Amino acid sequence: MASEQKFVDFIIDQINFSAHITNKKMFGEYGLYFDNKLFGLVCDNKLFIKPTQSGRAFINHVVEASPYPGAKPSFLIEEKLDDRQWLRKLIEITVNELPEPKLKKINRIRKIEKS
């Protein structure tokens, strides 16, 4: 089942970093980016966040699942989707720990966005 844009919009609204968050549709699902840094996926209308040590400590009782067959496990966020402050803090923690995207990828993204 493909994810719905309505659900993605809800997640972005909950995170409340609108100036920094973008989404890109990929094969019926969505990648979530913070200033060109991929931090999560929406697959089958479920939110998956890239795993980090700080995120794991913040969540405390982590549920991990693969967003699609063959993918590495990510943090599956279901319980706290309605808690805007908690979700925003998790994204902030995650993005701060993730490495910067490689320049090659950023240039490719910019080229695609200009098309």
Structure tokens at 68: 């699609």
Considering the entire predicted model, what is its pTM?
A: 0.85
Give the type of residue at 106.
I
Q: Which of 54-63, 68-77, 106-115 has the lowest mean pLDDT?
A: 106-115
User: Taking 80 as the threshold, does the pLDDT of residue 111 lie above it?
Assistant: no
User: Whose CA is closest to 91, among 16, 3, 4, 25?
Assistant: 16
Cα–Cα distance measured from residue 64 to residue 3, given in angstroms and rounded to the nearest whole number: 19
CATH number of domain containing 57: 3.90.1150
Host domain of residue 87? 5-114
Q: CA nearest 35: which of 109, 86, 85, 111?
A: 109
Q: Which CB contacts under 8 angstroms, 24+ apart, belong to 100-107?
A: 100/37, 101/36, 101/37, 101/38, 105/36, 106/36
Average pLDDT over residues 93-109: 80
If one counts the domains in the chain, the total is: 1
